[in-house]
Structures are given as structure tokens and as C-alpha cells.
Amino acid sequence: MELSCGRPAAALPGMEAESPGEDYESLPSGASLSTHMTAGAVAGILEHTVMYPVDSVKTRMQSLQPDPKAQYGSVYGALKKIIHTEGFWRPLRGINVTMLGAGPAHAMYFACYEKMKRTLSDIIHHGGNSHLANGIAGSMATLLHDAVMNPAEVVKQRMQMYNSPYKTVLECIQTVHRTEGLGAFYRSYTTQLTMNVPFQAIHFITYEFMQEQINPRREYNPRSHILSGAIAGAVAAAATTPLDVCKTLLNTQENMALNSVNISGHLSGMANAFRTVYQLGGIPGYFRGVQARVIYQMPSTAIAWSVYEFFKYFLTKHKLEKRAPY
């Protein structure tokens, strides 16, 4: 991620930047949007797919009234049991729809973040790094990201649940649309935004803070990007787990859980979700699956940041090499 705006940074190894604004941390203006979108799309797809089996476990562990055959004590135990009883490929159900959503969602997400952060940093901190600008930019980028990813999340989580009645992603989409309407794909949108806005604000602020501590020159440093990303993901994931539990309930519409509290039809609204989670699990219910969520987010965000930074570095270097005189 671009970590400094409007001030000189170290040039690419082995070459000199054309100007203070033409280096790794200040991308060439003509290529900045395409660079951010390409790097973001690749990073997003890898982030969501590499750790996808753990995400499947997290969805099941957040179930408020799980089937006795789908109760798990740990992430490793859950994966082992799922593979043993349901087949090797079961933890990957729904990964295709996730990939389809993650590419464009993250392309817009990173491009929006970079543009907003640069603009806000110029206003708030006169071009310097601003934690407030980072947090606002991350939150604004989330609006675009979630608009694309929310329908994919609904389908993905329904495919991930134990005894899911859907054989394919297409069948799931058609059935949900026919029985619950188009609004079902955005039933958890406000809850997801309520979760992801603070998640991304915490995430970006923590990442930028860690970069200030361990990579103050803002150079391309894979180890610093991985470490900063992992810590940022863990902190943000733990802090927003209660909202993630509510989002999962709204996405999956667990019949057993809703019937046990005499809810007929479909549950909607964040307030209703919060109330239902408390009725079924009390305060501990809000932290169901926190272990799986943190385990999932740490490598996922580390992968996303390291891949994004690498592609930004690679594409910028290629751009500068093309400009360099022979």
C-alpha cells in the first residue's frame, strides 16, 4: 500500500527516480489507477482463496445452533472432521463465487483507498502521512468493496454451512432469488458495512502505524509488509467479531436457530440480529468463531498486503524502466 504521500521516498533499487514523485511510494501518475487496480485484484483473489478452508470453518463455528455433527473444538479439528466425513473438497465449496467477487471488489477497493488517502492527506496533513486520512480512506473504500462482495458473501456462506441444500453456486443464486427475492443478497449489507468500516479503519491505521515503526523509509520490504499486515488483520478481526457473527446469521438465516426463538420468515436488520445472537448465546455468542476469524485474517491480510506491495513495486519498476533513457 502507498504509505507516504507528497514527500520523497527511496527510489527503486538500482535506479534513480525521475523526480521526487516518480518512485515506488509515489507512483507514476499515468499508471497509478491501473497499477492499483491490477495489484488490488490479484491481492484480493489470493487473500480470499489461499485461506478459504479456514473461512469455511469460521462460518460453521459461528453457527448459533449447530447440528450435533457439526460442532467443533478447534480450527484444525474442524478441518480434519469436515474432510473425513464430508470429503476432501468440502471446505472449498463456494470458492468460485468468492473469486468472481473478490477481483473487481478489491480492484475498486485499493484504487479508491489510494486516491482518497492522497487527497485527504494533502488536506489534513499537507501531504504527510495521516492516520485520520488512512482511516477515512479505508472506510470509504469499503463502501465500494462491500457493494460488490455482499451478494458473493451470501452465496458463499450458504454453500459453506453444514448440510447445505445447494449443489452448485448457480442453484443457490436461483433458489435464493426465487424464494427470498433480490433483497436477500443485500440483507446483511448494512451490518457488513457496520462491521467493515471499523474493521478497515482499524486495519489501515494499524498497518500504517506498524510501517512507521518497522519500515520508516517506506521502502519495498516484503517482511515488513507481511508482519504489518498480519498484526493489522489480527487486531481488526478480533475487535469486530461480534458484528461478523451477526452478519453470518443474516446471511445464512439458520432455520434451527430462528425457530428456537420463535422467529418465522426471514431475519433482517442489524438490531434484530444482535438481539437474536444474545438470546441464543449470551455475551459469549458474539465471539463464536473468534479463533478461526483471527487465524483466517492474519495470513489473509499478510498475503493481501505483500502481494499488493509486490505488484505495485513490480509494475512501477517496469514503468520507470520503460521511461529510462538508453
The answer to whether residue 89 scores a pLDDT higher than 90 is yes
**Residue 24: predicted pLDDT:** 40
> CB 274: neighbour CB atoms within 10 A?
17
**Residue 258: predicted pLDDT:** 78
Instruction: Report yes or no on 2 lying in a domain.
Output: no
The answer to whether residue 162 scores a pLDDT higher than 60 is yes
* Least confident interval from 151-165, 179-193, 301-315: 301-315
Instruction: Report yes or no on 17 lying in a domain.
Output: no
The answer to whether residue 17 scores a pLDDT higher than 50 is no
**179, 172 in Cβ contact below 8 A?**
no
More confident call, 95 vs 1: 95
> What gap in Å lies between CA 35 and CA 51, rounded to an integer?
25
For 33-38, the CB contacts below 8 A with 24+ separation are 33/111, 33/115, 35/311, 35/312, 35/315, 35/316, 35/319, 36/107, 36/110, 36/111, 36/114, 36/312, 37/107, 37/108, 37/110, 37/111, 38/107, 38/311, 38/315
**249, 277 in Cβ contact below 8 A?**
yes
- Look-up: residue for cell 443457490? 172
Instruction: Report yes or no on 19 lying in a domain.
Output: no
**Residue 1: predicted pLDDT:** 38
**Residue 324: predicted pLDDT:** 65
**Residue 11: predicted pLDDT:** 35
Instruction: Note the helical H segments in 87-188.
Output: 95-124, 131-160, 169-180
**Residue 197: predicted pLDDT:** 81
**Residue 158: predicted pLDDT:** 95
Q: What is the pLDDT of residues 32-88, one digit of tens each?
A: 677 778 888 988 898 889 889 999 999 999 988 888 889 898 999 999 999 999 999
Instruction: Report yes or no on 41 lying in a domain.
Output: yes
Q: What is the pLDDT of residues 200-241, one digit of tens each?
A: 889 988 998 999 999 888 888 899 999 999 999 999 999 999
Instruction: Report yes or no on 25 lying in a domain.
Output: no
Q: How confident is the model at residue 182 (pLDDT cuts 50, 70, 90)?
A: very high
Q: Print the domain residue range for 136.
A: 33-313
Q: Using alpha carbons, select from 181, 153, 325, 179 the residue that is nearest to residue 255.
A: 179
More confident call, 287 vs 307: 287
Instruction: Report yes or no on 12 lying in a domain.
Output: no
Q: What is the dihedral angle through the alpha carbons of 189, 190, 191, 193, rounded to the nearest 10 degrees? A: 80
The answer to whether residue 303 scores a pLDDT higher than 60 is yes
Instruction: Report yes or no on 128 lying in a domain.
Output: yes
φ/ψ region of 253 (left if φ > 0, alpha if ψ in -120 to 50, else beta) reads: left
Q: What is the pLDDT of residues 117-158, one digit of tens each?
A: 888 888 887 766 677 888 888 888 888 899 999 999 999 999
More confident call, 263 vs 170: 170
Q: Using alpha carbons, select from 211, 168, 207, 218 the residue that is nearest to residue 298.
A: 207
The answer to whether residue 264 scores a pLDDT higher than 80 is no
Q: What is the mean pLDDT of the chain?
A: 83
Q: How confident is the model at residue 9 (pLDDT cuts 50, 70, 90)?
A: very low
Instruction: Report yes or no on 7 lying in a domain.
Output: no
35: Cβ–Cβ under 8 A, 6 or more apart, which residues? 27, 311, 312, 315, 316, 319
Which amino acid is residue 302, in one-letter code?
A
CATH number at residue 109: 1.50.40.10
The answer to whether residue 2 scores a pLDDT higher than 80 is no
- Look-up: residue for cell 446483511? 188
In the chain, how many domains are there? 1
